[in-house]
Amino acid sequence: MERMPRWADVLLVPLISLILAAAISAIVILAIGENPWNALKIMVTGALGSSYAWGYTLYYATNFIFTGLAVALANHARLFNIGGDGQATVGGLGVALIALYLPWPHWTLALLAAIVASAAFGAAWAAIPAYLQAKRGSHIVITTIMFNYIAYALLTYLLTGPMKPSGTMETATAPFPEGTHIPSFRDLFSHGETILFRGTPANVTFFVAVLACVLVWMLIWKTRLGYEIRAFGFSEGAARYAGIGSTKIIVVTMLLSGALAGLMAINNTLGEAERLILNAVEGAGFIGIAVALMGRSHPLGVFLAAVLFGFLYQGGAELSLSTSIPREMVVVIQALVIMFTGALDNMVRMPVERLFANRRARGTPVAPLAGPTAERAPDRAAPPSTPTTAE
């Protein structure tokens, strides 16, 4: 029997952790001489108070959805992909190559090609660490983080050499042609004299990210491959005994994880910058780790956590502009959220588990949550069923 319902694991435990992080953040803000309530109002208004605010919040959230899904998918196979930054960086290279060197009559075709190219380049960058883990036993954490720095060095070389336009000092490619420009939220939602999302980088990639959440959920809980990934993550030995090849699962999972991280490049390279620039990823691969932890590696949880971190990024920027609170304070708040949802997870989880255990002991039914969050992997603690014989 599970210790608590799936909905409590995905929603309730992270919510309590978030409340605790907010309480500690309020104390820190009070200690530096600022009003926590005013700081909260500025953050909420700055991140959610207008279409401009929402545009930036959803732009950041789109990046974090892709990197969060990349980490979450790998987590189901007990693989810790810490190379999202490098995979997204190389994914941007794939986007730039198809945008600069192929003619595109319409943005829809360019978007489809960018999806394929970014996913393929991101997967390719994850392939070598995956092979080294599967065949040589090299730890995936070490190899993926090393490949981050190799990706940075490769992009620096290309943007200061072969892909740098003549007559410019910028470490960036030439602007992409008009036919590759995908619609922004302003293009999509403005009508007549009403201009929404003015000056924001949010674009149609957000809907690609939402679709990615749905597809990852279907993969993990509705396909044979997803079952094999989860079984391998629960017990590698049992999975091998059942005929599930460890090499196949490690390589395929890491390829899919790298592809998801690479897809982030559509948002910041094709959608926002409309050219390939240095440092476009801005650490989103590492934020994806926190997003996956807070979202319990479930696509719905990843989506909600990504929006939360988008809120923190945009609201924190407004907070540092409107008050004397430094920008580093936002990093402290993010660190507190990560600490409570990651390192101190059991501090929240164990009391919640005891609460539901006590309710079951008293005979109080615990209703499951309908929808995708009701899906869960087989419980490792449950013994296999055995046939009964008649007396």
Tens place of pLDDT per residue across the chain (391 aa): 457 787 787 778 888 888 888 899 899 888 888 888 998 899 999 999 999 999 999 999 999 999 999 999 999 999 999 999 999 999 999 999 999 999 999 999 999 999 999 999 999 999 999 999 999 989 999 999 999 999 999 999 999 999 999 888 889 999 999 999 999 999 999 888 889 999 999 999 999 999 999 999 999 999 999 999 999 999 988 888 888 888 999 999 999 999 999 999 999 999 999 999 998 998 899 999 989 988 889 999 899 999 999 998 999 888 888 877 777 777 887 788 778 877 777 788 888 888 888 888 887 665 554 444 444 444 444 444 444 444 3
The pLDDT tens digits for 325-363 are 777 777 887 788 778 877 777 788 888 888 888 888 887
Instruction: Give the domain 6-361+369-374 fold.
Output: ABC transporter involved in vitamin B12 uptake, BtuC (1.10.3470)
> With helix as H, strand as E and coil as C, how does the chain read?
CCCCCHHHHHHHHHHHHHHHHHHHHHHHHHHCCCCHHHHHHHHHHHHHCCHHHHHHHHHHHHHHHHHHHHHHHHHHCCCCCCCHHHHHHHHHHHHHHHHHHCCCCCHHHHHHHHHHHHHHHHHHHHHHHHHHHHHHCCCHHHHHHHHHHHHHHHHHHHHHCCCCCCCCCCCECCCCCHHHCCCEHHHHHCECCECCCCCCCCECHHHHHHHHHHHHHHHHHHCHHHHHHHHHHHCHHHHHHCCCCHHHHHHHHHHHHHHHHHHHHHHHHHHHHCCCECCCCCCHHHHHHHHHHHCCCCHHHHHHHHHHHHHHHHHHHHHHHHCCCCCHHHHHHHHHHHHHHHHCHHHHHHHHHHHHHHHHHCCCCCCCCCCHHHCCCCCCCCCCCCCCCCC
